[in-house]
Amino acid sequence: MLAAYVAFGCRGVWPELHRETILSPGRYSSTDAYFSALLNIPGGSERWAAVQEKLPKDKSVVFLCPEGNPHCDFVSKLFSYLSWPRDVKMYDINQKNLGSRLATLDRPSTAAVVFFDISPPPGYTRGWLMGKRLMIVPLQEAQ
């Protein structure tokens, strides 16, 4: 039985190995796959890591997304996973209460605000654009 499994398995795998179509896993293979599939951002993990290097390490990130967005939870958790041990706080908001949410931010303890599928208001337009759906705005001077 084992010999049959190996023989049939090799027949299916060998052509793929020969054509070099199987990708070798890298440091960010799984998270990059999510960034690419969900947000159309190739290399998103590395891009987020580069942004984080410019932010104060001891401050949190606020992740804002529209109420009822089905991808919000997953994308915010993806950022949280890649940001560890930095704290990422996620808030569901609508465009109407965006200004009041930003006014209540604890600015001294917040490094940046991530706008996901939300247009940043005036005063929050200098930062890093990741794809068409994410804007990362530092609250303090980036390093």
pLDDT band at 143 (very low <50, low <70, confident <90, very high): very low
**Structure pTM?**
0.78
If DSSP states are collapsed to H, E and C, what string results for 110-127?
A: EEEEEEECCCCCCCCCCC
> In 10 A of CB 90, how many CB atoms?
18
Output 80 or 25, whichever has higher pLDDT: 80
**Tens-digit pLDDT profile for residues 34-66:** 888 888 999 989 999 999 999 998 999 999 999
Q: Report how far residue 142's alpha carbon sits from residue 129's, in angstroms, rounded to the nearest whole number.
A: 15
Domains in the chain, ordered, with CATH? 29-138 (3.40.190)
Helix, strand, coil shares, percent, the chain, to 5 = 45, 20, 35
* Token representation of residue 130: 């990741």
**C-beta of residue 35 within 8 angstroms of C-beta of residue 42:** yes
| DSSP states of 92-112 | EE-GGGHHHHHHTS-GGGEEE
Q: What is the pLDDT of residue 94?
A: 86
Output 5 or 79, whichever has higher pLDDT: 79
Q: What is the pLDDT of residue 127?
A: 92
| pLDDT higher than 60, residue 26 | yes
Output 1 or 76, whichever has higher pLDDT: 76
Output 142 or 11, whichever has higher pLDDT: 11
